[in-house]
Amino acid sequence: MNGEAPPRDEMLRALEAVLLVAAEPVSSTVLAQLLETDRGAVEESLARLAEDYERAGSGLVLRNVAGGWRLFSHPSAAPVVERFILSSRHTRLTKAALETMAIVAYKQPVTRHQVAAIRGVNSDGVLSALVDRGLLEEVGRDEGPGRPLLFGTTPEFLERLGLASIGDLPSLAPLLEEPERDDAGHVSEEIPIEPESDDGA
């Protein structure tokens, strides 16, 4: 570290860029090391950057928290930010999305064509949406003609379903068993009644 501070505008730009991609608060000491300057100059620039955000009415707020500096969305924008997060990643999945996700989960790795063949309809858009949500991901390429992309589930998929591994998915075997038929060969429509639990649920 030479102790010579970079031009002020350059320092502000560098600090803002680092804080934008940081996943946790960054101390002024670490920032000073990155910019190869002294901590005092960094803290002065951080204070100015925080003031600039406030004066400009920005949607960002720079705060000194937990021993470091971090960018936050402005509290007044919280309702809009919340709606965006809920609408983009946590809304209920459509029937098409559930079908597609189930096919990939049980058949992975699987290509777009294979998913479409099982569903009987083009599933490119649904696959892309599930990838965007972080539930599916590209896991390689098939060795067949054209080397199409292969898709599989992600750790977030397991987390959302409360599974430790793909091996914990329920077996499909009971769903594939032949239905019971009567003497005339007709499928029985009788629905077995589960015994009531002790709590009456």
Domain positions in the chain are: 8-76, 95-176
CATH T-level fold of 95-176: Arc Repressor Mutant, subunit A (1.10.10)
Q: How sure is the predictor about 178, in pLDDT bands with cuts at 50, 70 and 90? A: low
Residue range 116-133: average pLDDT? 89
Whether 166 contacts 153, CB under 8 Å:
yes
- What distance in Å separates the CA atoms of residue 15 and residue 46, rounded to the nearest whole number? 8
CATH code of domain 8-76: 1.10.10.10
* DSSP H or E segment with residue 65: strand 60-65
Q: 10-27, pLDDT tens digit by residue?
A: 889 999 999 988 878 899
How close are the terminal C-alpha atoms of the chain, in Å? 68
The pLDDT score that the predictor gives to residue 184 is 55
The pLDDT score that the predictor gives to residue 100 is 93
Q: Which residue did the predictor score with more confidence, 58 or 7?
A: 58
- What distance in Å separates the CA atoms of residue 144 and residue 16, rounded to the nearest whole number? 46
Q: Which among 113, 108, 90, 117 has a CA at the least distance from the CA of 169?
A: 108
- What distance in Å separates the CA atoms of residue 52 and residue 147, rounded to the nearest whole number? 51
Q: Is the pLDDT of residue 169 over 80?
A: yes
Pairing of strands 110-111, 136-141: unpaired
The pLDDT score that the predictor gives to residue 171 is 81
- What distance in Å separates the CA atoms of residue 139 and residue 4, rounded to the nearest whole number? 47
- What distance in Å separates the CA atoms of residue 103 and residue 113, rounded to the nearest whole number? 12
Fold match between domain 8-76 and domain 95-176: yes
- What distance in Å separates the CA atoms of residue 192 and residue 196, rounded to the nearest whole number? 12
